[in-house]
Structure 1
Amino acid sequence: MKNTGGPLEGAVVAVAGAAGPAGRAALLRLAEAGATVVGADADAERLASAVDAARYAHGGATVTGDTVDLLDLAATRDWADRTEKEFGRIDGLVHLVGGWRGSASFTATDLADWDVLERLLIRTVQHTSLAFHDGLLRSDRGRYLLISAAGAGKPTAGNAAYAASKAAAEAWTLALADSFRKAGGEQGPGAAAAILVVKALVHDAMRAERPNSKFAGFTDVNDLAEAIAGVWDRPAEEANGQRLWLTPQP
């Protein structure tokens, strides 16, 4: 049943990386909360399926999809500008673009993995944050949310490229938070940039593939979606620049 009168009622929220399991869950939860949801992904077919599922689950909800190359800054800016122009405002950017590469040991690290992860996990954050910065400031409830991993602060030998990429994305997001803080002046930030930290994500298809796995400490994508929506319940000043832990802090 659609929630009415909550902080997401009537909000316009963009979701980057909307076609994956976490993206699908976020589209559903945000639409349920009364938001207009604009998803973007490079995979047009999977994006259309995710958008259709959210529309079907919440009749009357406005859920749209744009095929956007988030590695192209101009294309990302066009997406942000087009979204704000079409819907009159932009109240959130949820960054769910993911990827993982690892190795058996530190010395076995393939630096080609860094090249891939730098683009997926850092460059897309740079582009979406730069593109949506001003629009989020114009909102009375702007939120930029990065999904990160506990390994960013406690990297393991075989995850050097992944952990370093996540740590860089976190640092970039915290710089965005500082920009929001400075823009707010004495009144405090009107927009917030926050980091939701998980160990890893799990969804139903993973459980079906590995029925004997416990996925200890993993966060279900539906719980992540709930936490994403919950950030709008927090005042901007309270959420801005925070790491919000969904797994025990190491």
Structure 2
Amino acid sequence: MTINGKGSLDGAVVAVAGAGGPAGRAALLRLAQAGATVVGSDADAERLAEAVDAARYAHGGATVTGDIVDLLDLDATREWAARIEKEFGRVDGLIHLVGGWRGSKTFADAPLAHWDTLHDLLIRTVQHTSLAFHDALERAGNGRYVLISAAGASKPTAGNAAYAAAKAAAEAWTLALADAFRKEGGEAGPKAAAAILVVKALVHDAMRAERPNAKFAGFTDVKDLADAIVGVWDRPAEEVNGNRLWLTPRP
């Protein structure tokens, strides 16, 4: 992989988990624009196909593909990582955009079933992608594992207990991956980096169209998030590894 100036990922191979949503779609577009070969995954085949087609159409000549992968299955996730590396020769990044939200009006009426759902969506998928891609990211020499998290993980609110707790657990797991990269790099420094991009919430054009009078104060546009994702390669692995990179004011 060669980085020819800020924002260029010529020759890089980047996997995007949760590529079918608005943030995933923006990430596919921006990564393709930066010159990367992009491999997206999603549980929704129709959404994934639309996102992949949009990125290909917007950036003629870009290599953008999609795979339906059950990220709740560790073996299937490992097979996905191995398949990407075998086909393209390397994996330079895993962008984790698998999301989900559950909340309640008060703390006391929070259904514990919400935790079960969010545990799978927000924690288990992080565990599986990090374990599956760890070796390949190190082999790439400048790999990046990027988790998208929420400010609420640092300041939980009464109605968001399950969501905030799940996000905090996902952050802790990602920081443990960062520590592994640090230790494995030794005196030379980490060969790969795990970082967390923190937002208050995300907004996209369809949301604005549905609520034209809403201000979405403090929200991060998915296009700006995509720029920040590409930007994690602009700094050395040692500077990025183990850091929360805030795209919204700290709570």
TM range (shorter): over 0.9
Identity of aligned residues (%): 82
Amino acid at match of 1:148: S
Q: Which residue of 2 aligns with 1:165?
A: 166
Offset at 1:78? 0.3
SS in 2 for 1:233: coil
SS in 2 for 1:168: helix
Q: Distance in 1 between matches of 2:74 and 2:17?
A: 13
SS in 2 for 1:232: coil
SS in 1 for 2:232: helix
Amino acid at match of 1:48: A
| TM-score normalised according to structure 2 size | 0.97
Q: Which residue of 2 aligns with 1:151?
A: 152
Q: Which residue of 1 aligns with 2:85?
A: 84
Q: Which structure 2 residues correspond to residues 167-186 of structure 1 after superposition, within 5 A?
A: 167-186=168-187
8 Å CA contact 1:4–1:33 kept in 2: the answer is no
Q: Which runs of 5+ in 2 are unaligned?
A: none
Runs of at least 4 residues of structure 1 off by over 2 A?
Answer: 3-7
Q: Which residue of 1 aligns with 2:66?
A: 65
Q: Distance in 1 between matches of 2:3 and 2:160?
A: 43
**CA deviation profile, 1:76-135 (whole Å, cap 9, x unmatched):** 000000000000000000000000000000001000010000000000000000000000
Q: Distance in 2 between matches of 1:234 and 1:210?
A: 37
Amino acid at match of 1:21: P
Q: Which residue of 2 aligns with 1:132?
A: 133
Offset at 1:4? 7.8
Amino acid at match of 1:66: D
Offset at 1:5? 2.6
SS in 2 for 1:138: helix
Amino acid at match of 2:20: A
How well do the aligned residues superpose, as a CA RMSD in angstroms?
Answer: 1.0
Q: Which residue of 2 aligns with 1:236?
A: 237
| TM-score normalised according to structure 1 size | 0.98
Q: Distance in 1 between matches of 2:87 and 2:133?
A: 15
Q: Which runs of 5+ in 1 are unaligned?
A: none
Q: Which residue of 1 aligns with 2:143?
A: 142
**CA deviation profile, 1:1-37 (whole Å, cap 9, x unmatched):** xx98345110000000000000000000000000000
Q: Distance in 2 between matches of 1:203 and 1:74?
A: 33
Amino acid at match of 1:132: F
8 Å CA contact 1:14–1:92 kept in 2: the answer is yes
